[in-house]
Amino acid sequence: MAGAAEPAPRSRPRVGRYVVTGRLGKGGMGMVYRGLDEALEREVAVKTLTVEGTLDEESRRRFEIEAKAAARLQHPNIVTVYELGESRGTPFIAMELLPGMDLEALLRSGEALLLQEKLEVVIQVLRGLAFAHEHGIVHRDMKPSNIRLLEDGTAKIMDFGIAKLGATGVTRTGMMVGTVYYMSPEQIRGHNLDGRSDVFSMGVILHEMLEGRRPFTGKDTPEILYKIVNEPHPRLGSDLGDFKDPLQAIVDRALAKNPDDRWPGAARLADELQAVLTEFALQTPAPVQDAIHAARRLARDGQFEESARALREIAQQNPSSVEARRALRAALRDLQRHKQPPAPAPDAYPELEATFEQVGAATARHAEATATALATAAPPAAPGRGLVVAGALGLAVAVIAGGWLMFGGRREPATPGTLQGAPTVTPPPAAPSAEAPSPAPPTVAKLPVQSEPGGASVALDGRKLGTTPLTIEVPVAGDHRLVLSLAGHESHETRLVAGKLPAEVKVALEPSGPPGTLRVSSSYPVDVVFRGRALARGETSAAVKLPQGQHSVTLVSESLFLRHTVQVQITAGGEASLRAPEAGKLSVNANPDNCEVFVDGTFVDYPPILNRAMAAGRHTVAFKWPDGTRREQTVEVPAGATAYVTGRKD
């Protein structure tokens, strides 16, 4: 007698084109999942919206505006958005999956941070906010949990969920958005907000980082809000030495009740903190940096305890080294993950399916109601309730206590037989037939491994298998650690996660040895950016450490519209030099002159613009008149001289 047919394997859940591989967290308005983009073999964070009002046109419009705002903010200190879309009626957003930890978690951990690191974090966040403000976007919910700290010290702003695009005017009446401890006075009063509101929130964060506690607290929400609006903030009491007075002055101005009394923008506040940091910051000596790199290599080779032990000794011997502190923090997290491997991801996500079903049912009801209304010529149905707000003030407003990242909804085009503009329902895939059971899944997968240069030793879970190029067999079940090592080069580790093995592994091994030095000079302050991390900020003369080899380095000055990327060759222990383009000037007129002027996509001012400082080189100048007419020109700004541009509407 033939045995019973094996049940068909459960298909993995998806949100859009992303395979859901785990849960990352839960917020008041939805879930965030770990996802896999199979086409690009890239892990992402996928946030879904699970809230009433997804059919509300106002909510959809807000999602669309906020989605466009986030997608166009490409900056090293802002999380990158890959896609905003809709899956079975549920809006979602896919973004880069960031390692590291939130600033909130770091502050609550009790770990003592060096003043230098505190200022570096705040300055980076302010640079990202300045970029957003230049694009007309106000975050409106800056708080430590919306700041992600990567292991290399890079800070990234997350969750532009209640951000507002300055020109849209789309808001929900009677609704106060933000997190109470970090709200600005004008935000509490319900006034129109600009970038100075974010400056106030960053002043609260700076005060909290310096003091270890929030400046405005109370027994309930109304008391906190009253203090923010009416009472002065406490003065700094920490022992900050010679830097207490300048930092107190900076905090005082950032937390001014009247926006006109604050720093005019995030960039200006960042510049003031940079001046303090430049005077205070200490450079980690090159031998100590070499020791840190060597200790981190131990972790990459799987020697987690040895790495943590070595870095703890380095940090104790060099208590003023921010790099040693950061490396030790990362090593301790590596060790903890190694001792407590993550639980295998579930193959079912009932809350996700429930969301799809709920939204699908609501969509169907909405479509049916719309069809009935059209057929009977009755007035259209009332819109949905919209976003559910959490926390009441006892007043006529509500406070969203935890901002969630925006989601962009996309409507599918209408198909024959459906009402134009009515949402569509995507049916679930048909279940596999029990009469044709799927074959048993394989227990191992073949994985080609290559390296540049070749001849690298290949080890899987500590077991050496041969040298590259090589095709290895990887057990499908469980996670695995693939390490490639070659004499004279840095070892490279690849994490192989169960259920999402790549088609192949290709690794470019970097030469080992002491790093080289790149000396950067400029006639104006610039940032030196390498692999998305700013190695120096606002300096006219900088010396940064880079690994051996040929690399792309970008010099950035937002105020002078500079983003200059060059290739540099670094030798072990050697030096290379790089100079930023000289500065020139730009004068702009227009006929008629009632237009906005943009340089390289960033709004500058209304004409006439006289002798605006700018990095020498090619720039794009665009003009936009109130009726929507646009004109664009390319101009070459000479070093030490002025370029002239006139925009003409006709």
Confidence category of residue 348, pLDDT binned at 50, 70, 90: low
CA 235-239-244 angle, 5° bins: 55
Confidence of residue 645 (pLDDT cuts 50, 70, 90): very high
Query: Which residues are annotated as catalytic?
Result: 141
Separation CA 514–CA 535 (nearest Å): 17
Confidence of residue 371 (pLDDT cuts 50, 70, 90): low
Examine the pLDDT at 616 and tell me if it is beyond 90. yes
Confidence label for 192 from pLDDT (cuts 50, 70 and 90): confident
411 pLDDT band, cuts 50/70/90, is very low
Q: What is the CA radius of gyration of the chain?
A: 28
* pLDDT score at 578: 93
Please tell me the predicted confidence (pLDDT) of residue 372: 52
Mean pLDDT, to the nearest integer, of 381-401?
Answer: 34
Domain boundaries for CATH 1.10.510.10 within the chain: 18-280
pLDDT score for 172: 42
Residues 265-293, mean pLDDT to the nearest whole number: 83
SS3 label, residue 368: helix
Q: What percentage of the chain has pLDDT greater than the value 90?
A: 23
Phi and psi of 562, rounded to 5°?
A: -110, 130
- Please state which CATH class domain 444-508 belongs to: mainly beta
pLDDT of residue 395: 30
pLDDT, tens only, 335-347: 877 777 655 556 6
Q: What is the mean pLDDT of residues 348-377?
A: 60
Q: Is 614 a residue whose pLDDT tops 70?
A: yes
- For residue 402, is pLDDT > 50? no
Q: DSSP string covering 131-186, please?
A: HHHHTTEE-----GGGEEE-TTS-EEE---TT-EETTT----TTEEES-GGG--HH
pTM: 0.55
For the domain covering 18-280, report its CATH number. 1.10.510.10
Q: Which CATH class is domain 583-648?
A: mainly beta
Determine the Cα–Cα distance for residues 38 and 95; give it in Å rounded to an integer. Answer: 15
Predicted confidence band of residue 262 (pLDDT cuts 50, 70, 90): very high
pLDDT at 299 over 60: yes
Mean pLDDT for the chain overall? 77
Percent of the chain with pLDDT over 70: 75
Can you tell me the distance from the alpha carbon of 70 to that of 89, in angstroms, rounded to the nearest whole number?
Answer: 21
Among 516, 491, 539, 489, which Cα is nearest to 286's?
Answer: 516
- Which pLDDT band holds residue 103 (cuts at 50, 70, 90)? very high
Residues contacting 76, CB < 8 A, separation 6+? 128, 154, 529, 532, 533, 534
State how far the Cα of 507 lies from the Cα of 431, in Å rounded to an integer: 40
Q: Is pLDDT at 50 greater than 90 in this prediction?
A: no
pLDDT of residue 490: 78
Mean pLDDT of 487-508: 83
Q: Are 308 and 165 in contact (CB under 8 A)?
A: no
How far apart (Å, rounded) are the C-alpha atoms in residues 19 and 24? 14
* Higher pLDDT among residues 294 and 512, named by residue: 294
